[in-house]
């Protein structure tokens, strides 16, 4: 199974910053030890043209040359740096490559990504460019050169925070179905309208969460026929996440992942996944959740290979 990384670009964050930058290196190390059959590749940079499938030229230019306003950077939550620009481009490139690999292999992943708070003309919540949105648009363009029928893409966002940027980008677009299951009272406090939003109360545990996932996937199937699934496998519904406010266990999160991967597998839909958020006080617990996602992904990747003609 192929996975793509951009974690070698470490942002110069001030001491005490709450974003857990170190989790990416720990995830890579964990995969090397526990899942050595996962082949890891450095992600390419998303080009201006690829980013412009979703983002405005003004936003791309201001981020790239550092002319972005201080207020816009405060909304993102990072200080501007060349490393931030490079990492944001490569994180988007990783989801693009994961989608291409999923069409070839059935399943592939981005070891970062899931930057769902970025919209066309601004970022937010540690998100600069919207990797899933850019990848969806580029896959549609590439598919359109090969086939007459347009590619329909489902973005299944199970980060604990609503994918407001993704929802805003694709509002009114029948070719992309946005599904977000998130904490009702959590960030962002002004939500956008996804095609399907499922809002959960603080303290929601495994049983209620998994029931919501099953119901939402059933609704997705009734309303949409995707040719690609992009899955944001946030680790932040975890019970000890500092920003999550839900109460999912390790087993509950693995069961969540299994339901999403099985949904795509049963319908033979290629699936690309990204890590999205994760802010446990013990960073090793976030990485444990992410490694669980990769273990489930690898199992379903093997099913694809065994089913190949």
Nearest partner of 91 among 57, 138, 51, judged by Cα: 51
In the DSSP assignment, the letter for residue 8 is T
Contact 235, 273 (CB under 8 A): no
Number of residues in the chain: 309
Contact 295, 37 (CB under 8 A): no
Catalytic residue among 55, 116, 117, 161: 117
CA dihedral 107, 237, 287, 8 (to 10 degrees): 70
CA dihedral 70, 72, 74, 76 (to 10 degrees): -140
Strands laid side by side in the 196-200 sheet: 39-42, 2-5, 107-110, 271-274, 228-232, 153-157, 176-183, 196-200
Annotation marks residue 55 as catalytic:
no
In sequence order, what are the residues at sequence separation of 6 or more whose Cβ sits closer than 8 angstroms to the Cβ of residue 158? 181, 213, 231, 232, 233, 234, 237, 256, 260, 276
> Is residue 24 left, alpha or beta, with left meaning phi > 0 and alpha meaning psi from -120 to 50?
alpha
CA dihedral 267, 103, 214, 262 (to 10 degrees): 70
Instruction: Give bridge partners of residue 103 from the DSSP assignment.
Output: none
Query: Which of the residues are catalytic?
Result: 117
């Amino acid at each position: 199974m192929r996975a793509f990384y951009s974690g070698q670009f470490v942002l110069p964050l001030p001491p005490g910053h709450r974003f857990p930058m170190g989790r990416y290196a720990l995830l890579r190390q964990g995969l090397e030890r526990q899942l050595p059959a996962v082949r890891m590749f450095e992600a390419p940079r998303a080009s201006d043209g690829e980013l412009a499938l979703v983002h405005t030229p003004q936003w791309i230019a201001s981020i790239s040359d550092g002319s972005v306003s201080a207020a816009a950077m405060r909304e993102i939550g990072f200080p501007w740096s060349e490393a931030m620009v490079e990492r944001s481009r490569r994180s988007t490139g990783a989801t693009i490559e994961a989608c291409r690999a999923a069409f070839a292999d059935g399943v592939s992943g981005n070891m970062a990504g899931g930057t769902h708070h970025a919209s066309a003309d601004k970022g937010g919540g540690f998100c600069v460019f919207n990797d899933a949105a850019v990848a969806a648009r580029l896959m549609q363009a590439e598919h359109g050169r090969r086939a007459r029928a347009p590619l329909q893409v489902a973005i299944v966002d199970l980060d604990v925070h609503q994918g407001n940027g993704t929802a805003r980008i694709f509002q009114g677009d029948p070719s992309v179905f946005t599904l977000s299951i998130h904490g009702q009272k959590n960030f962002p406090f002004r939500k956008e309208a996804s095609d399907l939003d499922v809002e959960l109360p603080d303290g929601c545990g495994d049983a209620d969460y998994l029931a919501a996932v099953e119901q939402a996937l059933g609704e997705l199937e009734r309303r949409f026929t995707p040719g690609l699934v992009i899955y944001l496998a946030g680790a932040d519904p975890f019970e000890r996440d500092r920003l999550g406010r839900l109460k999912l266990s390790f087993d509950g999160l693995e069961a969540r992942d299994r339901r999403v991967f099985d949904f795509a597998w049963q319908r033979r839909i290629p699936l690309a996944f990204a890590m999205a958020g994760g802010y446990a006080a013990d960073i090793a617990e976030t990485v444990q959740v992410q490694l669980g996602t990769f273990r489930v992904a690898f199992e379903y990747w093997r099913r694809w290979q065994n089913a190949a003609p």
